[in-house]
Amino acid sequence: MKNYRQLLRFFAIAGALTITFTGCNKDEDEPLNPTPVEPLYSGGAFICNEGAFMQGNATLDFFSYTTKAVISNVFQTTNQRPLGDVLQSMTILGDTGCMVLNNSNKVELVNMIDMKEIGVIENVSGPRYIIRAGKDKAYVSQWGDDGKIKVIDTKSLNVIKTLEAGAGPEQMIRYNGMIYVANGGGWGADSTITVINPSNDVVVGTIEVGYNPKSFAIDASGSLWVLCYGHVIYDPNWNIVGEKPSMLVKLNGTSLGVEKEVIISTTQHPAMLAASPDKNTFYYGGGFGFQGIWAWNNQSSTLDAAMVSDLFYYGFGVDPKDGKILGLEAPSFTEGGKLHLMDHNGSLQGTYTTGIGPNSVVFY
C-alpha cells in the first residue's frame, strides 16, 4: 500500500501540478489522464464549507447542475475520514484537487477523477491559497509567521523555500509572467501587493494599493484589478472608531504601479471579486456584514454598480462558462448554510442546503 501511494503521488501530483493557471480556481488545460475518464463529480461546482473553528468539521460539497442537488461531504464519503479544520479554499490543477485547511495547517490533495486522497502538504502555518508557480513548484500563501509565501516542491510535497510577503497574504494570480499576492492584512491591516518572479522565486516589487487587498480579476482588455476590502478600526471595547474605504484598484502591469482607483464605500466592505464570462462585468460582495452581490461594468469611469441580490453572502462564485451566480449564506457556524443558484442578473433559480460555513465555489 505504501509503494502504491508513493507511485500515485508521483504521477498524479507531480504531473498535475505542472499545469498553468492564472488565479482562477479551475485549470482550463486538458486533463492529464492518458485515457479519458469521466470524473465522479463534474458538471457543477464544489462548495468549500469552513465548518466551526476548532471543531474539525470542515466539509466539501458538490452541487450538480444536472440533478440540481447538493451531494454532501464528498471527501469524507470517499476517504472515510474527516477533511480537517477550516476549509479556506480549493484550487484544481489538472487532475489534482488542492484543499487548503487553514486551522489544520495543511493542504489535502485528491485525484479529481475519484476524489481519493493522494498526498498532504504540511509545514505550512495558517495557509490560505495555493497556485502553480512553475514546473514541479507551487506557492502557498499563509498567515502564519507574520505572513509568508511557502514554495512547495510538488514531487516531494516539501517546503523548499520561504518568501517574504505583507501581512495576511490571501489570493494570488499569475499575470504577465509574475505572481501577484494580495496582502489582506490578516488580523490587522496592510495595503500592498507583493510581486514575485516565479522563475527564480525572488520578490521583485511591492505595489501600494488600498487597505487590505483580497481578491483579483482580469477585465476584457486584459488589465488586472484587485478588490481592497478597506479597514475597520476598533477601540479596546470593540466600538468602531474609524474606517478606511473599500475600493477597486486597476494595476499597471508594466510599471508595478496603480493606474486607476474606484471607491466602493467608506462603511461597507466586500471581500470577493469575480468576472463575468466576457470579463466586461465585475461582481463584488461576500464577507461578514456586506449586503448583496453587485455588478459593475468595468469599462465605466464611475462606480455605477447595480445590486443583483440583496442577501448577506459569506461568499459567492460566478461560473466562467455561462455566468451563473452561486451565492453562499452562512447564517451560523452551528448549522448548515445555503446555496442560492441565480442567473447572471440575480434571478433566483433555486436554494439548497450546504455544510457549515460555506465560503467559496470551485466550478468543475
The closest of 114, 125, 108, 137 to 16, measured between CA atoms, is: 137
- What pLDDT was estimated at residue 158? 97
In angstroms, the CA 121 to CA 107 distance is 5
270 located within any domain: no
In angstroms, the CA 115 to CA 95 distance is 10
57 located within any domain: yes
In angstroms, the CA 230 to CA 246 distance is 4
Taking only the tens place, the pLDDT of each residue in 251-274 is 998 889 999 999 999 999 999 999
3-class DSSP assignment, residue 197: strand
3 located within any domain: yes
Number of domains the chain is built from: 1
The closest of 114, 120, 194 to 152, measured between CA atoms, is: 120
Q: Which residues form the domain of 135?
A: 1-164
Taking only the tens place, the pLDDT of each residue in 279-300 is 999 999 999 889 999 999 999 9
Check if the beta carbon of residue 136 is closer than 8 Å to that of residue 155: yes
How would you list the strands of the sheet with 224-228, edge to edge? 213-218, 224-228, 246-252, 257-265
- What pLDDT was estimated at residue 36? 64
- What pLDDT was estimated at residue 35? 54
Residue 130: other Cβ atoms inside 10 A: 26
Cell numbers 514531487: residue: 155
217 located within any domain: no
In angstroms, the CA 214 to CA 62 distance is 25
279 located within any domain: no
219 located within any domain: no
Which residue intervals of the chain are DSSP H helices? 2-9, 74-79
Q: CATH number for the domain including 8?
A: 2.130.10.10
In angstroms, the CA 104 to CA 61 distance is 19
Residue 199: other Cβ atoms inside 10 A: 10
Taking only the tens place, the pLDDT of each residue in 208-225 is 999 999 999 999 999 999
Instruction: Please report, for residues 32, 96, 222, 279, 307, the alpha-carbon distance to residue 58 in angstroms, rounded to integers and kept in the order given.
Output: 28, 19, 36, 32, 30
- What pLDDT was estimated at residue 94? 85
In angstroms, the CA 274 to CA 111 distance is 26
In angstroms, the CA 315 to CA 330 distance is 9
Per-residue pLDDT of the chain (364 residues; tens, 9 = 90+): 433 333 334 334 444 443 333 333 454 444 444 456 789 999 999 999 999 999 999 999 999 999 999 999 999 999 999 999 999 999 998 889 999 999 999 999 999 999 999 999 999 999 999 999 998 999 999 999 999 999 999 999 999 999 999 999 999 999 999 999 999 999 999 999 999 999 999 999 999 999 999 999 999 999 999 999 999 999 999 999 999 999 999 999 888 999 999 999 999 999 999 999 999 999 999 998 899 999 999 999 889 999 999 999 999 999 999 999 999 999 999 999 999 999 999 999 999 999 999 999 999 9
316 located within any domain: no
291 located within any domain: no
Residue 334 Rama label (left phi>0; alpha psi -120 to 50; beta): alpha
Chain centre distance of CA 359: 9
